Amino acid sequence: MNTKELNLLFQRDLSQLKEELQAYQQEEKIWVLEKQIANSGGNLALHLIGNLRKFVAADLGGFAYERDREQEFSATGKSRVTLLEELDLVKEQVEKSLISLDPNKLGDQSIHSFFGHPMTIGYFLIHLYGHFNYHLGQINYHRRLLDRS
């Protein structure tokens, strides 16, 4: 594993998130909670953007960012254009952060230990990538479910 390959994977799937947001047939459905779905596509998108801006762009890349995780799940009604602009920003920051990260640092201790044990930066980045794809799948399902109704 290296930082260039990790960046390619994140960039590919950030582009997929952009395609998902653009694919909603009706923009307002991005924010709909329906059929026992706990989070809207918009809230999940904000969560993914906040997650990557905090843990990759800010922590590894040095970009200024003050995360408001609660707002990621409570916000409603942001325009699709606004979400896409935020997504473009995080794509750029993730790329700059990962490309400039020394690949030898992937084995260094991460400042985070969410799982009850220390972890390396490389391990944490793989976790973030899996987390991203889990929620990307939820957004795809949310969109397809609501576009059918």
Q: What is the pTM of this model?
A: 0.95
- Average confidence score pLDDT of the chain: 95
- Amino acid in the structure at residue 123: Y
* 62-74 pLDDT per residue, tens: 999 999 999 999 9
- Chain segment 38-57, per-residue pLDDT in tens: 899 999 999 999 999 999 99
Annotated domain spans of the chain: 3-148
Confirm if 53 and 83 have CB atoms less than 8 A apart.
no
Question: Does residue 149 have a pLDDT over 90?
Answer: no
Report the CATH superfamily, name and number, of domain 3-148.
dinb family like domain (1.20.120.450)
d(CA 87, CA 79): 12
C-alpha angle 17-21-25 in degrees, rounded to nearest 5: 145
Query: 32-44: b or e for each residue (b if 16 or more CB lie within 10 Å)?
Result: beeeeeebbbbbb
Tokens 């009706």 correspond to what residue? 26
